[in-house]
Chains A and B, each alone.
Chain A
Amino acid sequence: MAVELRHITKRFPGVIANKDVSMSVETGTVHALVGENGAGKSTVMKILYGMQRPDSGEILINGKAVHFKNPNDAIDASIGMVHQHFMLADNFTVLENIILGSEPKHGVTIDFVAARKKIAEMSAAYGLEIDPDILVEELGVGARQRVEILKVLYRGARILIFDEPTAVLVPQEVDDLFNALEGLRAEGMAIIFISHKLDEVLRVADDVTVVRQGSTVAEVKSKDITARQLAELMVGSELPQPSTHGVTRRDQVALALKDVSIPTSTGSRDLISHITFNLHAGEVVGIAGVEGNGQAELVEAILGLREYTGSISFNGESIDHLSVAHRHDLGIGFIPEDRQRQALMMNSPLWENRILGHQRSKPVMRGFVLDKKATIADTARIMEEFDVRAPGPQTLATALSGGNQQKFIVGREMSKAPALLVAAHPTRGVDVGAQGAIWEELRRAREKGMAIVLISADLEELIGMSDRLLVMLRGVVTAELDPAKTTPEQLGSAMTGAV
């Protein structure tokens, strides 16, 4: 057994603690460590690499208990880490980067001949081909990663930790990396592979350890499990599905856009051009498109944040001359794409954030005076109903995780039961649990007759949640699709204008 972690526990502020984490990695295998963002994967690895010390539990390397005080101790115990963000000196050659910090000496001078020989041997043995004399700044991402791996091997590592190594690679480079991992495994290395891309995990790993909320929940052979089962282990429940049931569309037109355009001041192509569509109550219209094709501008026009030509009406009345505040008050809710920038005061308590966007109506206001007590009570209600996990309404927004911030924002916008909800990337960057909860809220709102404009980069979300899909390309609606008859592939090619 190359590495054994037994009942590791670690608490620290802001992050979910590691609680009773155990895993064992055999020599000559690739062992994947998977889990959602914030599940505690990185903490486990930092402990193994000596960057953090566990509060309790023990680490065994090749059967012997070790106590690392810093990464140097871990390196001495033949552990190496390939970081997600490379740590290379751009203006050094590959060779210089590899030996940097552990140069072979020849008296007082560096023994480049010996270094070159050793690197050549390693490259050949593990299939990590690279020209040692090229400057690192001239290398692509995949080659840089090879340099990082060689650097670690050069220091004698037999246990290699890869932290999300494929996050920065294109598919071709991923294949190269996996070939190299094969070579390392064949040479009897133990490899720990951290990832949340489950198909890759199943492709490369022999064993998989799943962590959830800081604890290991399963240790399985990759050949005995499917990606879907793995995902459900990660989330701890069945995966949520973006879907809606039946038709809840009503006769009333909630939102009508007619020839809406946003010209640029420079006179070049309109940011959005002649957008026309009707949205009924109880209907979800999905706006698909590669980012930067006018979706954000369309949202801003509907909310009144940007000037436009053409006309927009809400529940049959023109709102073209109404301010942002007035449109809010008529019943237009907004879940913005960048919650920290557009929807929260990060250094203010949640109850003050409850007021934002609702400062003109009950329960926040009593006359023209803020009703602090009612606001705090209502904030507590939102936290309860929408499962916002935080100590209380006095907690600062910045202390919450992204998913909880988003659930709070959704709860806040739903509080006034808007007739129209503009939801821009409502589940972006949130964990699977929050994603399911947000989809459920949107479904419920739709059934109650809310009209929803949904903008998303997640094609499955768009197809699953929408009653109708509009594809935007260069500021123009280029296609209208029926989500029931559209696959993600078809939608993807429509977005790039391929069809």
Chain B
Amino acid sequence: MKKLKLSAILLALAAPFAAAVVSIIISSLAVLATHKSPMDAYKTMWDFGTTQSSLMQMLNTATPYYIAAIAIAITFRAGLFNIGVEGQLRLGALFGAYIGAMFVLPPVLHILIIMVVAMTIGGLWASIAGYLKVKRGVSEVISTIMLNSLAGGLSSYLLANRFMDRTTNSNNMSTKTLPTSGQFPGLMPLLNKLGIKDKPGGGVYGMLIIAIILGVAFWFVVNRTRFGFELRATGANPIAARVSGVNSKRMTFIALAASGAVAGLAGLPAVLGDTHAFNMGFRTGIGFSAIAVALLGRNNAVGMAISALLFGFLEVSSRALELIDIAPETYVIMQGSILLSSVIAYEVVRRYKITLQSKELAKAVGA
């Protein structure tokens, strides 16, 4: 039994280890192709990436990735694929910022209201895809991609024509700045108490706390509740789930709506913690990178946290590559090769596990 556990642990580590080795080789080849030294590149990234302010930026980058990845994982677990997180989080952040700036409320309540607004908008937007899927059989992959385009256009239109704050004379189109009660305080005061000193360019978004809470909630709901089981059963075998009494249409709709609601939060870390308004500088692409984060993290709460941090680290630390004349976009190659090799490695390990189990079975049943 002991031996079994040890081999199970080794097996669990085999995939990420193999994936890391392969992706380092691929990334090194990419750097070599530009006639630069991969060792220099990694050293520069490591030195820059492990400074305190870089690590804080890593956390700030990882926070929206993680929230968005959870949103995607909800649908993956149900056998669906919400590619529309990008649009859902954009609209969620826009409406959250716009409506949140309309009033002043007690601090915590104000932030909660903004989050509820963002979740509602994101959830409603995703529900369109849910409705089309359940009532009309439209593939959610197609409809969410199209809804992304709509969300992009709609948010630009609304920002420029309806939600823009005309009281300031800035060139940057922006919603009205949130009152202090609607701003999510950073974690610096807390970190100061832990003996971490302020540094210029530092600061950690308070939404990190929300992301952690969401991660725990995601784990609990998916793995430990009936709803989570029915969600996973629908993903694992929709027909058997239906026979077992799961209302599969309802489950599909709920999964997409819930995914959209969580996605709505993914745009808030920067809005509530940094810009305090929705403006033209709102980051694009979070919803797409998060697909990779969810895949790399195997739709698992801890796995996605690790992969979100890894993506954040690569993104932040690669900025230093410019110093030694390597295109910082190299990090995209790194992310891509990590993702690809890990998906393959996990599949190989999964098949090996099945073979191993069959052997055990043969031993138990046979002789």
Contact = CB atoms under 8 A, between A and B. Distances in A.
Interface of A: 11-17, 19, 213-214, 303, 305, 323-329, 334, 336, 341-348, 352, 355-360, 365, 368-370, 372, 389-391, 395-396, 398-401
B33 interface: no
B358 A348 contact: no
B366 interface: yes
B245 A13 contact: no
Given A342-B243, A343-B240, A345-B233, 11 more contacts: A323-B247, A324-B245, A324-B247, A328-B245, A346-B236, A355-B229, A360-B245, A368-B225, A390-B364, A390-B365, A400-B361
Majority secondary structure of chain B interface residues (helix, strand, loop or mixed): helix
Contacts of A325: 245-247
Interface in B323-367: 354-362, 364-367
Contacts of B223: 370
A344 B238 CA distance: 10
Nearest to A365: B226
Nearest to A358: B244
B239 interface: yes
Contacts of A348: 236
Nearest to A370: B224
A16 B362 CA distance: 6
Interface residues of B, number: 33
Nearest to A394: B357
A336 B242 CA distance: 12
Nearest to B246: A325
B360 A356 contact: no
Nearest to B365: A389
B362 A13 contact: yes
Contacts, number: 118
A400 B361 CA distance: 8
Contacts of B224: 369-370, 372
A305 B236 CA distance: 19
Contacts of A395: 357, 360-361
The interface centre, meaning the residue of B237, B239, B364 with most chain A CB atoms within 10 A of its CB, is B237
Nearest to B360: A391
A359 B244 contact: yes
Interface of B: 223-230, 233, 236-237, 239-247, 354-362, 364-367
B366 A345 contact: no
B366 A16 contact: yes
Contacts of B239: 341-342
Contact of A357 (B245, B247, B357, B361): B245
Nearest to B230: A359
Contacts of A401: 365
Contacts of A324: 242-247
B226 A359 contact: yes
B362 A343 contact: no
A232 to B, nearest CB: 21
A319 to B, nearest CB: 13
A345 B362 contact: no
A401 B361 CA distance: 10
A345 B361 contact: no
A352 B357 CA distance: 16
Contacts of B241: 356
Contacts of A357: 243-245
A336 B243 contact: yes
B232 to A, nearest CB: 8
A341 B240 contact: yes
Contacts of A336: 243
The interface centre, meaning the residue of B226, B247, B361, B362 with most chain A CB atoms within 10 A of its CB, is B361
A13 B358 contact: yes
